[in-house]
A and B are shown apart, each in its own frame.
Chain A
Amino acid sequence: MRRSLALLAALAVFLPAPGGAQEGAIAFTGARILPISGPEIPNGVLVVQGGRIVAVGRMGAVRVPAGAEVRDARGKVVMPGLVDTHSHIGDGDGGDRSAPIQGDVRILDAIDAEGPSIRRARSGGITTVNVMPGSGHLMSGQTAYLKLRSGHTVQDLLYCHDPLTEICGGLKMANGTNPRGAPPWPGTRAKAAALVRDKFVKAVEYRRKLELAQTDSTKRPDRDLEMEVLVQVLEGKRVVHHHTHRYDDILTVLRLKQEFGFRLVLHHVSEGWKVAREIAAAGVPASIILIDSPGGKLEAMDLRLETGAVIDSAGVLVAYHTDDGITDSRLLLRSAALGVRAGMSPQRALEAVTIAGAKMLDLADRVGTLEPGKDADFLLLSGDPFSVYTHVDETWVEGQRVFDRANTEDRKFATGAFRLMPSETGHHDDDEAMGGDR
């Protein structure tokens, strides 16, 4: 095992760099750099090459390689590309209305990699995104971790290399009012929890049979797509991303995690401020949505702008997400800034749209900070990241520019333009969204 890892690492050196095209070094000089992993550098240099970050530091203290293309970035702010832990860009869908638990469904089979919502996300500085199926199910399917490279197919965007053999995302689950309905959907909260427990009990049993089959292959259970996914969850290889709003629903999720031992990220957590200590004690991170007013549904009546600040100070790892189209991928930095308005420290708020999300997606070794060796995913901002007047000027993924505000076509996605976006309406502003998707 160890040896094969070493071999892989050795191979990686000779494999083409992520992104491929960027070969020569580029140095961005004179920028205010926010590496997130350390204090800001007022007059800094960022050097990238081969799709990776080569060096970050003060002007004068960083050696710019001979032959590097030097870009004067004075007046700009450079920070890591944003990580959005919860989004619905790419027009993907998950489970259908046939059953409340559909762990076998993969959203990666339904993503439009060239869709306008993906281009819009690049204009908002998002470089890593967890694209999820909806929350109208107890379990709506497998999520996809995407890197917003300029690609034509979902394969070009996936973090994993081969969806046939690798785990390419998490598992989306939900409780509260969204998954409720007539049977086979749960009619009550307790029924919802019972249905999920029942499924996990089956998965525990399936895993036991798999273990027995290691010594006696005749005992191998028939393949079952959903069970295979849940075994990945039980083994901690696939993270559960759980939509939940009300404080008691949050506690129910923590109870399930305690019973089955899966790895978990709580999502939305509108009432997380009421159970901040419990979330912290469970060691579970929270990815939160910031909405401009409470309500819209009963379980979000007690939503607060202060949630991020409160649960962060309780010791919970906090990220903000867009839940695009609930909020707009162009406005993820706005959510973090409003978190600052409501009491979060600026450093934590920056982490909440970068490294915190990367940790939640198990991608912190590759993205989320500006450190040598990490992917060259970064933004050039026109000003302070928390100022409303700041625009994303450029978005770079693995050393390639994927959004340039100076480019007329790109700019349209940042500002909006005549009939640019789809003419069919998404689920979000539909009155029936009450019992619907999110």
Chain B
Amino acid sequence: MRPRFLATALLAVLAAAPLSAQLAVRADTVYTMAGPPIINGVILIGHRGKIESVGPAARVRIPRGVRVVSGKIATPGLIDAHSVVGLAGARNQPHDQDQLETSDPIQPELRAVDAYDAREVLVEWVRTFGITTLHTGHGPGALMSGQTMVVKTRGGTVAEAMVDSATMVAMTLGPSVSSRFSGKAPGTRAKGIAMLRGTFIKAAEYARKREDPDSGKRLARDLRLEAVARVLDRSVPALITAHRISEIQAALRLQREFGFRLVLDGASESYEVMEEIKAAGVPVILHPTMIRNDGETNSATFETAARLHAAGIPVALQSGYEGYVPKTRVVLFEAAIAAANGLSREAALATITSSAAEIIGQGQRLGSLEVGKDGDVVLFDGDPFEYTTHVCTVVIEGQVVSEHCR
């Protein structure tokens, strides 16, 4: 046994030298999300975790000695386009709920990086179902609740997990804000918008005065206005949670007034205002397909993702925020219900891979299986969306992070 092992190791070194692949992934069908599915496909991932080669097995030679993992279906690592996992923990006790600070309705200076627990059990939970990337951070519930970031679902620290530390500023319109700041402003929808407009105007003034060539007149740094100014100068998009028609229209109106990059979030009544959303060129990170449809989301449907997609609006799915159980949803399951309700299988996959990557600003690095992109791959033992299919292998940047079928 031992000499044979040594020989294998030696061979591996020899074979690996020129190609440097660390892992080969084989699948009967590879959904690259960048072209038609590849039958009997192979993905080679290099030592730096990037994809070196993708194609049919007949054309992509697996170097000897490279570890091979295989399955029926391969997809890119799944992306949860909006989560609070890592800031919100499973225990649901005050000490593990950091997704919403209620001391003030406008606090865009709060950074996700300062509150992310990379070892939270929910991170591992979603990873075992193929989620390799989370756009997570401050949740809905405040006019400006804070910043979001993009992480991989691995690593023992936020630094090890980090992909992008300041991705968007999370904002919320509507009565869910009023209920959390009861007795304080905003008490109405219109008041909330007035407060946001006031904040944007202040931040624009701040940015102008920070630039003043006369250093005597230059304003002192203000973290809050600095964060808003980064939205105004289009460095980071505003992620606005808006469910009702009037809230969605208010978000579009704010965007027209201040010219920032807008991503609509939640958007359960979006199917009633698709023309306006499309005309504004705004993507939607839609509520979880299985969201409870009462209260503010009483218009939610299983078919909204399909309708937005058919209208040509870029759409991603999210796990969203849950106050009780399940403490997080699993976007794979949410996309499955969308696939069963009018969205094609590949369009449904896009809502948790390529389209999600584009919307969170990671289209160059994540979301499809292409040479040069991150080697994040999920292997299934059947149709990814079937209830009875299992996620069997999860790979992040060439490392197998989960290999129990579940």
A residues apposed to B, CB below 8 Å: 291-298, 300-301, 305, 325-326, 328, 331, 334, 337-338, 340-342, 386-391, 414-426, 428-431, 433-434
Contacts and interface: CB of A to CB of B under 8 A. Distances in A.
6 contacts: A305-B406, A334-B387, A388-B340, A415-B341, A420-B299, A424-B295
A421 B386 contact: no
Interface of B is mostly: loop
- Across chains A and B, which 3 residue pairs bring their CB atoms closest together, nearest first? A295-B90, A425-B295, A296-B325
B406 A421 contact: no
Interface string B379-393: 000000111111000
A420 B91 contact: no
Contact of B299 (A293, A295, A386, A416): A416
Nearest to A338: B387
Contacts of A305: 406
Nearest to B296: A425
Contact of B325 (A297, A386, A422, A431): A297
B90 A337 contact: no
B295 A388 contact: no
Given A337-B387, A415-B301, A422 B326 contact: no
B121 A431 contact: no
Contacts, number: 136
A203 B373 CA distance: 70
Nearest to B330: A292
- Which of B269, B272, B327, B385 has the largest number of chain A CB atoms within 10 A? B327
Nearest to A293: B326
B238 interface: no
A34 to B, nearest CB: 16
Given A291-B325, A425-B296, A388 B92 contact: no
Contacts of A428: 292, 324
A331 B301 CA distance: 14
Nearest to A295: B90
A429 B387 contact: no
Interface string B85-116: 00001111100000000000000000000000
B325 A426 contact: no
B135 interface: no
- Which of A294, A390, A391 has the largest number of chain B CB atoms within 10 A? A294
A426 B328 contact: no
B100 to A, nearest CB: 9
A295 B327 contact: yes
B226 interface: no
A341 to B, nearest CB: 5
Given A298-B91, A328-B290, A292 B298 contact: no
Interface string B321-358: 01111111110010011011100000000000000000
Nearest to A412: B301
B78 interface: no
Given A301-B90, A388-B386, A294 B301 contact: no
B269 A429 contact: no
A417 B328 CA distance: 24
